[in-house]
Amino acid sequence: MDFSNCPIPNWRGTSQPEGLGTNGVLVLGESLGDHEREDGLPFRPQAPAGSVLERAIRRSGFSREQFALWNVVPVQPPNNWLDGAPYEAAAITWGLTFLPEVLARFRPRVILALGNVALRAISTLGDISSTRGYPLPSRYDIPVIGSLHPSYLRRGKMSHLSVLMHDLRFAVALAAARQSDGVYTANFWSPVLWRDVSYDIPSSLRSISEISPEPGYICYPSEQEASDYLRECEVNPDLTIAYDIETPYGATKEIDEDDDHTGNKILSIQFSVAPATGIFLPWRGAFIEVAKRILGLGNPKVGANCWRFDAPRLAANGARIGGTQHDLRWAWRFFQPDLPASLQFITSFYHPAGGPWKQLAQVQPQWYGIRDVDMTLRCL
């Protein structure tokens, strides 16, 4: 490997890949730190970040030798600054010239990308805050799973170590999965869910980065279709109805659920009563009456942060909610109080094969809205 044309000013050190890669997983980091520069190898067990990764690997029942370890940029930037640096894009482009050689040597079946730099480098959906834990398509026809960087955990988030362990186990399980009818089934024990889990992952991950509405999503219903949906709920009182409203505060609702907004304007409401199904109702005209009647039924209801956000705004608009009301995000808070509680984060542990969807809020609001209730119901 020739490092002489590195575009980072005042870079130091060089690195070689480490590990045997026998479990089929390449752990991809960002760049070298002080200990990595001294040893010429990534994620040293005695280094600040490397020691956290070592702990996660061992607690997950693995050894580091089973993985292949590498960094997107195999040198040390000045002051360990790469993410957001003016030379970041050039450094990543340069560093990726070495990755094909690493892939050819270890032949990984799954890449576990730690942190935003690594994920952005190899996937078009590179944002750990929203896509962590989902298998995504990569530039190399190898599925990539983004996870938390050990450095992030050391900066006051060691309560999230089980999330990194979950993602390690998921990556290994997916690498070991056998294909059946175009689907890979990954089985492992999750330290976040405290139970065995089984994920069916499509062998082609291309659809995850595209808008592909399920046939059961009614995105543009007629008034008759809305009435038919109401009738289905009426004749099946045992069906649990997932609901969610969209408001001008939709983005804030997801990020900062404790903000007390005084506005009660509703743009739409979505319902789902079975996986891969749902209906989008604009909050206008005859659709409002249908929505109110569905909400008033005695069927059990479930929402995500509905107790403090959806229900009060619906009440202000004259909607009475009947039946037992479950709040998925508050249930999650009791189950895992130290972890984030956004719906997409929760869903990554229950239905990762569906892929992230929050990036579609503006380009396909109907599909996005139904996806919210579909995933809420699946997680419940």
In a domain, 9, yes or no: no
- Residue 214: the pLDDT is 79
245 plus 346 within the same structural domain: yes
Q: Are residues 243 and 198 in the same domain?
A: no
Q: Are residues 85 and 198 in the same domain?
A: yes
Long-range pairs, 152-161, Cβ under 8 A, ≥24: 152/115, 153/52, 154/48, 154/49, 154/52, 158/52, 159/338, 159/339, 160/338, 160/339, 161/52, 161/55, 161/56, 161/59
Q: Model confidence over 246-295: pLDDT tens digits? A: 998 754 455 445 545 557 999 999 999 999 999 999 999 999 999 999 99
245 and 179 in a common domain: no
What residues make up the domain containing 242?
216-379
Q: Structurally, how many domains does the chain consist of?
A: 2
Whether residues 135 and 36 fall in one domain: yes
66 domain residue, yes or no: yes
**Domain shared by 245 and 199, yes or no:** no
Q: End of a domain among 186, 205, 224?
A: 205
pLDDT at 165: 98
Residues 134 and 271 in one domain: no
pLDDT in tens, 64-122: 999 999 999 999 999 999 999 999 999 999 999 999 999 999 999 999 999 999 999 99
The reply to whether 199 and 294 lie within a common domain is: no
Flag whether 324 is in a domain.
Answer: yes
- Domain of residue 328, CATH code: 3.30.420.10
CB 29 within 8 A of CB 69: yes
5 in any annotated domain: no
Residue 227 shares a structural domain with residue 289: yes
pLDDT attached to residue 203: 82
On whether both 132 and 76 belong to a single domain, the answer is yes
Given 143, 172, 205, which residue is the final one in a domain? 205
Q: Describe the crossing of helices 343-350 and 365-379 by its angle, rounded to 10 degrees.
A: 60
Residues in the chain, pLDDT under 50: 207, 209, 251-252, 255-256, 259
Q: Has residue 12 been placed in a domain? A: no
| 2 within domain boundaries | no
Domain shared by 325 and 220, yes or no: yes
| 352 contacts 133 by C-beta, under 8 angstroms | yes
pLDDT at 190: 98
Q: Is residue 314 part of a domain?
A: yes
Residue ending a domain, choose from 146, 179, 205: 205
Does residue 150 share a domain with residue 51? yes
Residue 254 maps to a domain: yes
Amino acid found at 256: D
